[in-house]
Amino acid sequence: MLLVIDVGNTNITYGVYSGKKLLTTFRMTTKNLRTSDEYGIDIAELIEHNSLKMSDVSDVIISSVVPKVMYSLTSSIVKYFGITPIIVGPGIKTGIKVVTENPKQIGADRIVDCAGAYYKYGGPALVLDFGTATTYDLLREDGAFAAGVTAPGIRTSARALWEDAAKLPEIEIIKPNTILAQETISSMQAGLVYGQIGQTEYIVEHMKKESGYIDAKVIATGGMGRIIAEATDCIDIYDADLTLEGLRVIFEKQK
């Protein structure tokens, strides 16, 4: 079995594959720093809890945008699984050629998303990830990464509201029934969610127009992506496991 690990700013997401079949997924928070033993025990327990055997894991691949967790995390894989994990980075075959001005500035998470999108759905495509940041990435028909837009994620914007405005409360991020809010909580929800919908529609429209890829597929992923995908026609596909699929694709290319 293959264990794929996506280290994001908010969560670490794990997936276990048997061939091309995703058997299970689980998550832990990124901000709770752990020792290698804590990572190893937690991962092992989560795998066993999902009715799988830790001993059946033969390979591990990791993509990370949080360098400070990598030493403990990779050490846990070596110690508890006896495997040296593949780390997505320079020198790794991804199948995605980056043709921007400075390819090294493109995060591993974005390349992984694009690999998942291109090899599952083809190109041209716009790949949207609604995470700590909201990213919009343009893939050409040949799978090349041509351009990207980065904006604050919904939760990041929400946190700025309730941390920097003394009288605004911490709220659940959901789409209210109407944009015509009449009290504080629904007014914040409307601003955050409808604002993200409007941003998404505008950026997608103009990325298509300026690139000439008017018929590009729009593929979304990320924790808040489902809310947005259900509220706009500009997103064609929502795929919650796109990043994990990208890691599986990249692992296969190392062979």
Q: The domain that contains 31 carries what CATH number?
A: 3.30.420.40
Q: Which of 6, 37, 56, 109 is catalytic?
A: 109
CB 218 within 8 A of CB 204: yes
Same domain, 172 and 128: yes
Same domain, 45 and 156: no
Q: Is the pLDDT of residue 22 over 90?
A: yes
Last residue of a domain, one of 57, 87, 117: 87
Same domain, 56 and 111: no
Stretch (H or E) spanning 25: strand 21-29
- pTM attached to this predicted model: 0.91
Same domain, 117 and 199: yes
148-170 pLDDT, tens digit per residue, is 999 999 999 998 988 888 788 88
Q: Give, to the nearest 10 degrees, the angle between helix 242-254 and helix 108-121.
A: 90
Same domain, 143 and 172: yes
**C-alpha span between 11 and 38 (Å, rounded):** 16
Last residue of a domain, one of 28, 56, 87: 87
CB 105 within 8 A of CB 128: no
Nearest CA-CA partner of 13 in 57, 61, 56: 61
Asked whether the CA dihedral 26, 171, 10, 224 is positive or negative, the reply is: positive
**C-alpha span between 27 and 10 (Å, rounded):** 10
- Domain with 22 in it: 2-87
Number of domains in the chain: 2
Give the burial string for 113-145 (b: 16+ CB within 10 Å, else e): bbbbbbbbbebbbbbbbbbbbbbbbbbbeebbb
Stretch (H or E) spanning 79: helix 70-81
Same domain, 27 and 77: yes
Same domain, 137 and 61: no
CB 68 within 8 A of CB 92: no
Give catalytic status of residue 109 as yes or no: yes
- Place 90 in a pLDDT band, splitting at 50, 70 and 90: confident
For the CA atoms of the chain, what is the radius of gyration? 19
110-148 pLDDT, tens digit per residue, is 999 999 999 999 989 999 999 989 999 999 999 999 999
Residue 49 included in any domain: yes
Same domain, 22 and 141: no
**C-alpha span between 8 and 135 (Å, rounded):** 13
Same domain, 66 and 114: no
Count of helices and strands (H, E) across the chain: 7, 10
Same domain, 67 and 111: no
